[in-house]
Amino acid sequence: MGQNSPDIAKYFDKLLQPEDEILRSIRERAIENGLPDIQVARYDARHLEVIARAMGVSKAVEIGTLSGYSGVTILRGLIGDKKLYTFELSEKHAELARECFTLAGYKNNEVEIFVGPALENLDKITTKGPFDLIFIDADKANYVNYFKWAKKNLKVGGAVLADNTFAWGNISKDTSDETVMALQAYNMFVASDSDFRTTIIPTSEGLTFSVRVK
């Protein structure tokens, strides 16, 4: 953050303290259990909480649970009769996420984890919609497919957030890398959808933020 300025980063770390003891414990548990180091960064997680709070979100969907780190921050931003539906491919990751949601104080009626390919499971919750917020942070090849599902199940005024949309600094490059090309396709797809108003939050990895306007 801070245009790669270490001094600005230290300033806001001290001021905002984006990672508390619970989140730090979740991050450490993920490392101890051998999970890949791909969960959201501390400020990305804070963005998720603050955006959810600002939008008055009560029902959210997360595609890509991992250890539950980002899910906990989304839950912190939910209001009222809160519910997070989160989707994870790996049973090992889902089991750790269940422990971490409990550690953070969330009950089974507040968070529900679906294990397996998300595209095969998402339709299990369509009757629970429309949803207020959908966060995509999973296999990049299916980002466009996840957005298509999101559009069908998102309320007007709701938002879709997609992580890693800077493609690790490669988003503007001509490339044959399939992952980068998938993220380029996602950004182009959402930017051209007239039912959404899209911007980019310039986090370290890029967070594409699309609000449904009609």
Q: Is the pTM of this model over 0.85?
A: yes
The pLDDT of residue 38 is above 60 = yes
What are the residues whose beta carbons fall under 8 Å from the beta carbon of 145, sequence distance 6 or more? 119
Nearest one of 5, 9, 75, 14 to 41, comparing CA atoms: 9
Instruction: Please report, for the chain, how many H helices and E strands are present, in that order.
Output: 8, 7
* Span 65-105, pLDDT tens digits: 999 999 999 999 999 999 999 999 999 999 999 999 999 99
Token pair, residue 106, equals 């969330």
* pLDDT confidence of residue 143: 99
Predicted confidence at residue 2, as pLDDT, reads 46
pLDDT for position 37: 84
Burial track 35-69 (b if 16+ CB lie within 10 A, e otherwise): beeebbbbbbbbbbbebbeebebbbbbbbbbbbbb
Q: Which domains does the chain have, with CATH numbers?
A: 6-212 (3.40.50.150)
Q: How confident is the model at residue 204 (pLDDT cuts 50, 70, 90)?
A: confident
pLDDT at res. 4: 63
36 SS3 class: coil
pLDDT at 181: 98
Taking only the tens place, the pLDDT of each residue in 1-35 is 445 688 988 898 899 999 999 999 999 999 999 99
